[in-house]
Amino acid sequence: MAIKEIKTTPFKDQKPGTSGLRKKVKVFQQPHYLENFIQAIFNAIGGASGKTFVIGGDGRFYNSRAIQTIIKMASANGASALYIGQNGILSTPAASCIIRKHKLSGGIILSASHNPGGPDGDFGVKFNIENGGPAPEQVTERIFEEACKIERYLISDAPDLDLTVQGETVVEQTKVEIIDPVSDYADLMESIFDFNAIRSLFSKGFRMKYDAMNAVTGPYAKEILVKRLGAPESCLMHAEPLEDFGGFHPDPNLKYAKELVQELFSDNGPDFGAASDGDGDRNMILGRNFFVTPSDSLAVLASNAQFVPEYKKGLAGIARSMPTSRAADKVAEHLGISCYETPTGWKFFGNLLDAGRITLCGEESFGTGSDHIREKDGLWAVLFWLNLLAATGKSVEKIVRDHWHKYGRHFYSRHDYEALDPDIAKKLMDDLRAKLPTLKNTTVSGLQVRHADDFSYVDPIDGHVSKHQGIRIFFENEARLVFRLSGTGTVGATLRVYIEHYEPDHSKHDMPVQKALEPLIKAADIIAEIKKRTGRYQPDLIT
Ligand code: G1P
Ligand code: ZN
């Protein structure tokens, strides 16, 4: 074995986005592309020497290839130990759990989350720090700086490892252990929730469907739901991780988890349905004939946290990303705890969780989590709901309706316009920003604007300032529009419009969501000129 120093030149497009570096597989397959980025990570953290990392991914195409390269590079850079998920598999929440449990220096997660996979799909690399969470902006900015000036990287010429067998070996001076990707995570879940109550729910014939979308959570769901909780194996759908996700778009929402949705909305459907995304950090929750919006889910979990053993002692606080509906704020107010509003992306929750300011946090984009790790956690959310269903004996629909009755309902939807010409999308946002000072007190589509701004966040723990995190337009009656461009897409630009309207009157809670939001949807188009500028008459995706 020998360590080789390879000369290279920078790629200018290696700026991490909302969640790591995401590109088409073909971009990552270019010579030196992955290597440059990995070396940039090591350079940005003062070298890998003496450090310990977990490495794994969502099993998508190029996952194993990338892991072999990273093992050789981490060894050549002097890492003292590497923990690799067997078969290269590690869900994002499991990776976070392992970093924390084994007190590692960090982790490299190979995933493009909910983006499609396969040779023509997407790939991604995300670096997590020692608290188990995504690298904060200061670190991702340093990684980008390093990537922009890289001249060389180190790599061992050691042969590929067999990732299919658990066990320990040594590469250069580095101890490399292939580990069971599931057990640490499953143990953590068992320590949080009332598994006895959930087991007894299943033993009474409670029916559930869980869709792993041919992505990473299949083995986790099998161990936890079937083996430890006694659910029948037939409750699992698409539970084998596949390199191309079987052609699925592994994003758990009403559009892409179609089969699951059909089952839950059929006659005599199951009591409970759930799905998770490519890397296992997102969740969708369904009841029989009932969809729970992720924003509502966060609020419901917060309001019922006392039913879960781990959270019985009370919540320190709640945080939600800015575009997420303000349903959780009402619960925080009721509980007399703080509710923090952060920019989009899980990395902004890390400091608040580390400082003990918050216990639960979530995003409208099907992400929910707590201080048990530093990532959002799909199966955790599913287990939380199962725990609530077991403890209350209520249906999903009843729990949510009771919640609306108590706190009022936040009608909420996100409209995505995908693959836009980046120049047109940028101009739309720039012009909207320029218009902000003139909007106050104007009436648009019958709604009066109370306040409009460009969201800027000052981290309450380290004072770091993040600007331009989305344009917010507040109307009377707690209605709100938010506009921002996606930071995770790989094709053109995606405009996200977040639409929210608060309805305290429960006689109006049955209105169809898009109908309740109609005046706001019209206002969004008038203010941002979406149709005129993009030529799009409908969003590509409504969630
Ligand atoms: C999207 C979501 C965001 C989430 C991220 C990673 O980012 O909107 O909430 O944290 O994926 O899962 P975006 O594409 O909007 O930048
Ligand atoms: Zn994900």
How much is the pLDDT for 477?
85
Using CA positions, which residue lies closest to atom 6 of ligand 1?
A: 19
| Contact (Cβ atoms closer than 8 angstroms) between residue 147 and residue 8 | no
Residues 17 and 83 in one domain: yes
Note whether 389 and 491 are same-domain residues: no
Ligand 2 centroid to residue 365 C-alpha, Å: 10
Q: Residue 336: which residues within 8 A CB-CB, separation 6 or more?
A: none
Ligand 1 and 487: CB distance under 6 A:
yes
Q: Are residues 21 and 167 in the same domain?
A: yes
Q: End of a domain among 181, 201, 234?
A: 181
Q: How far is the CA of 444 from the centre of ligand 2 (A)?
A: 36
Ligand 1 pocket member 321 (CB < 6 A): yes
The CA 92 to ligand 2 mean position distance, Å, reads: 7
pLDDT on residue 98: 98
Q: What is the DSSP letter of 224?
A: I
Residue 145 shares a structural domain with residue 277? no
Q: What is the pLDDT of residue 491?
A: 83
Give the pLDDT of residue 62. 97
**Count: domains in the chain:** 3
Q: 323 and 227 in one domain? A: yes
**CB of 304 shorter than 6 A to ligand 1:** no
Task: Give Cα separations from 92 to 122, 379, 490 (angstroms).
Answer: 16, 11, 20
418 and 401 part of one domain: no
Same domain, 171 and 189: no
User: Which CATH number goes with the domain that contains 511?
Assistant: 3.30.310.50
Check residue 489 and give its pLDDT: 76
The verdict on 270 and 361 lying in the same domain is yes
Q: Are residues 385 and 471 in the same domain?
A: no
91 Cβ inside 6 Å of ligand 1: no
Q: Closest ligand 1 atom, CA of 484?
A: 15
| Domain termination site, one of 342, 372, 407 | 407
Residues 159 and 236 in one domain: no
Atom of ligand 1 nearest to the CA of 345: 10
Testing ligand 1's pocket by substitution, the residue of 140, 297, 363 carrying the most ligand atoms inside 8 A of its CB is 363
Contact 357, 460 (CB under 8 A): yes
**Is 113 considered catalytic here?**
yes
Contact 499, 412 (CB under 8 A): yes
Residue to mutate (ligand 1; options 344, 361, 413, 429; most atoms within 8 A of CB): 344
Q: How far is the CA of 359 from the centre of ligand 2 (A)?
A: 20
Whether 363 lines ligand 1, by a CB cut-off of 6 Å, is yes
User: How many residues are there in the chain?
Assistant: 543
Give residue for tokens 């950090």.
281
Locate 220 and state its tokens.
Answer: 């986790």
Residue ranges of the chain with per-residue pLDDT less than 50: none
pLDDT at 519: 96
Of the residues 18, 374, 496, which should be mutated to test ligand 1's pocket, given the most ligand atoms within 8 Å of the CB?
18
Q: Kindly give the residue spans of alpha helices, DSSP state H, lying in 150-256.
A: 183-192, 195-203, 218-221
Residue 381: what pLDDT? 98
Question: Residue 462 has which token pair?
Answer: 């380290």
> What secondary structure letter does DSSP report for 161?
P
Residue nearest to atom 5 of ligand 1 (CA): 345
The reply to whether ligand 1 has any atom less than 6 angstroms from the CB of 344 is: yes
Q: 280 CA to middle of ligand 2, Å?
A: 6
Concatenating the DSSP letter of every residue in 491-520 gives SSEEEEEEEEEEE--GGGTTS-HHHHTHHH
198 with 230, same domain: the answer is: yes
Q: Whose CA is nearest to atom 8 of ligand 1?
A: 365
**How far is ligand 1, taken at its centre, from the CA of residue 291, in Å?**
20
Residue in 482, 480, 496, 488 with CA at minimum distance from that of residue 534: 496
Which one of the ligands is nearest to 279 CA? Answer: 2
At which of 407, 432, 448 does a domain end? 407
Which range marks the domain in which residue 63 is found? 3-181
To test the pocket of ligand 1, the residue of 277, 295, 488 to mutate (highest count of ligand atoms within 8 Å of its CB) is 488
Ligand closest to 366 (CA) is: 1
Say what the pTM is. Answer: 0.94
Whether residue 463 sits in one domain with residue 389: no
Q: Which CATH number do you get for residue 309?
A: 3.40.120.10
Catalytic residue among 19, 64, 113, 325: 113
Residue 486 CB–ligand 1 contact under 6 Å: yes
Q: Are 220 and 91 a contacting pair, CB within 8 Å?
A: yes
Residue nearest to ligand 1 atom 13, measured at CA:
486
